[in-house]
Amino acid sequence: MIADAVGRLYREGSGRILATLIRLLGDFDLAEEVVQEAYAAALEQWPDEGLPCNPRAWLVQAARHKAIDRLRRRTRFAEKIEELAAMQALEEPAGEREDPALRDDQLRLIFTCCHPALAPEAQVALTLRTLCGLSTEEIARAFLVPTTTMAQRLVRAKHKIREAGIPYRVPPPELLSERMDAVMTVVYLVFTEGYAATIGETLIRRELCAEAIRLARLLDALLPDRAEPPALLALLLLHDSRRAARTTPDGDLVLLEDQDRTRWDHAQIAEGLSLVERALRRSPPGPYALQAAIAAVHARAPRAADTDWRQITALYALLLQRFPSPVVALNHAVAVAMSEGPAAGLRLLDSLAARGELSSYHLLPAARADLLRRLGRDEEAAAAYREAIKLTTNAAERRFLERRLAETDDAAHHSGAKRRP
Give 343-406 as a DSSP string. Answer: HHHHHHHHHHHHHTTTTT-THHHHHHHHHHHHTT-HHHHHHHHHHHHHH---HHHHHHHHHHHH
| Pick from 369, 391, 400: nearest CA to 199 | 400
Could you tell me which residues come within 8 angstroms of residue 256 by beta carbon, excluding any fewer than 6 positions away? 242, 298, 304
85 scored as a contact of other proteins (CB under 8 A): no
Residue 412, SS3 per DSSP: helix
For the bound state, the minimum distance from the C-beta of residue 35 to other proteins, rounded and expressed in Å, comes to: 24
256 scored as a contact of other proteins (CB under 8 A): no
171 scored as a contact of other proteins (CB under 8 A): yes
C-alpha to C-alpha distance for 170 and 110, rounded to whole angstroms = 9
Half-sphere exposure of 89 (CA within 13 A, CB side): 15
For the bound state, the minimum distance from the C-beta of residue 246 to other proteins, rounded and expressed in Å, comes to: 41
* 175, 244, 267, 343: which one binds other proteins (CB under 8 A): 175
Part in contact with other proteins (CB under 8 A); list of ranges 51-59, 89-97, 166-174, 282-290? 166-174
79 scored as a contact of other proteins (CB under 8 A): no
Part in contact with other proteins (CB under 8 A); list of ranges 7-15, 46-54, 167-175, 207-215? 167-175
C-alpha to C-alpha distance for 324 and 330, rounded to whole angstroms = 11
Q: By CB under 8 A, what part of segment 116-145 binds other proteins? A: 117
Q: By CB under 8 A, what part of segment 354-393 binds other proteins? A: none
166 scored as a contact of other proteins (CB under 8 A): yes
* 48, 91, 163, 225: which one binds other proteins (CB under 8 A): 163
For the bound state, the minimum distance from the C-beta of residue 49 to other proteins, rounded and expressed in Å, comes to: 42
110 scored as a contact of other proteins (CB under 8 A): no
The H-or-E segment that residue 187 falls in is helix 173-196
Part in contact with other proteins (CB under 8 A); list of ranges 147-155, 161-169, 223-231, 263-271? 161-169
Other CB atoms within 10 A of residue 125 CB: 28
Burial of 283 (0-12, 13-18, 19+ CB in 10 A): exposed
* 50, 93, 165, 173: which one binds other proteins (CB under 8 A): 165
List residues binding other proteins (CB under 8 A). 115, 117, 163-167, 171, 175
